[in-house]
Structure 1
């Protein structure tokens, strides 16, 4: 199984100006670096939480259908499933009717559940199933929960201060507990 971004978010949850204000930087000399750190911080938090903060599109591929009638989708909050395709042995894709399945957007993780129909089997041994996903809290930074935006600001500031590679592995380079505390309510807990 793999997950590949097909359309990135149009904006970041935090602007360079917001990050500079948070870090009390009033020059433009390192705007490119700060922008890169904002992007990296967002990606780090999204990966840690299996979240998409701003609306983005992904292609989720599977080798075969799971034994159960449902598939856990790896990204939340899920906004929609754009399509499900099965690839045959010749590499041709067949779109599965959206009447064959139900998408549970409210679950965490979100799920695709088969109705009474049996999904068609892929003819390809690897990546024979493709599912198009759209996920994110919304299209703008205003839709992202404030604790996650603040975690991005704090992580950006932390990485701005700790950019020397000699610090890797030392306590000063460790991500502060306060950032983990901010994102903990958004973690998926498995029992």
Structure 2
């Protein structure tokens, strides 16, 4: 499998509190089970949609660079997947952190970012050399090219009410303006979900103050919020699907289910789909 997960999400898009509210469970007895079902449902959603929901780091391993091509992109077409493009089939890509390859001497080389362009707005994400450049020639050996990237709709953050800052551990920050969201609690006051914010200042790498308008004053935080705070937002349709799937898994704890008065026993089709993330495809 050319795509390899390097580091998975540190939080889930649906919190245990939200899942229990959906299930109408108010005792802690099944907390571990429900937490595991959230992970299973999230992985299934990511596999079906070919997306990363919460920020994750991935590696694409190739035997060689694609191409080359002498014509660049086809003329007159508004959108193409050109033959010399590297395609990252895991959305939503936030940043390509490195492209490296084995040169003809067997030495690992890192391609200068100025020599390639990354289209983060398209799905799937496309990477090509900039105009006037071509891909370097790697050693003719399997696994000679690697592309490291991060993908996800949202990244968790920590708030510091004393200094009014927001800290993010991930390698990327969303294009401004950006929105904030929360799972299982409330955002730090006075921040609001589904509201555009901008970076007011960069205190240190990964530590920021926020503004309500471009180049506006820094927002004063009065608390650190509760639950899981996120920069970015996982679509509500996906979050709703996860909660419904958790409900199905929680209700039917076997792969077969008996239905109403007929006593008919039917297999639950989504059970085998839980193996999809682990299926090797040739």
Q: What TM-score, normalized by structure 1, do the two folds share?
A: 0.83
Q: What's the CA shift for 1:159?
A: 1.1
Partner of 1:74: 89
Aligned pair partner of 1:154 in 239, 244, 247: 244
Aligned residues: 174
Cα separation, 1, equivalents of 2:114 and 2:13:
35
List runs of 5+ in structure 1 lacking aligned partners.
176-191
Q: Is the 8 A contact 1:13 1:53 kept in 2?
A: yes
Q: Is the 8 A contact 1:91 1:124 kept in 2?
A: no
Instruction: Give me the CA root mean square deviation.
Output: 2.0
Cα separation, 2, equivalents of 1:30 and 1:122:
52
Higher-Rg member (1/2): 2
Larger helix fraction of residues: 1
**Higher-RCO chain (CA-CA 8 Å, sequence separation at least 6):** 1
Larger strand fraction of residues: 2
Matches within 5 A, 1:1-191: 2-67=2-67, 68-88=83-103, 91-115=106-130, 116-123=132-139, 125-140=141-156, 142=182, 143-166=233-256, 171=266, 173-175=268-270
Q: Secondary structure at the match of 1:81?
A: strand
Note the alpha carbon deviations across 1:140-181, whole angstroms, 9 max, x for none.
Answer: 4641111111111011111111221445xx745134xxxxxx
List runs of 5+ in structure 2 lacking aligned partners.
68-82, 157-180, 183-232, 258-264, 271-282
Q: What TM-score, normalized by structure 2, do the two folds share?
A: 0.58
Q: What's the CA shift for 1:124?
A: 5.0
Q: Secondary structure at the match of 2:39?
A: helix
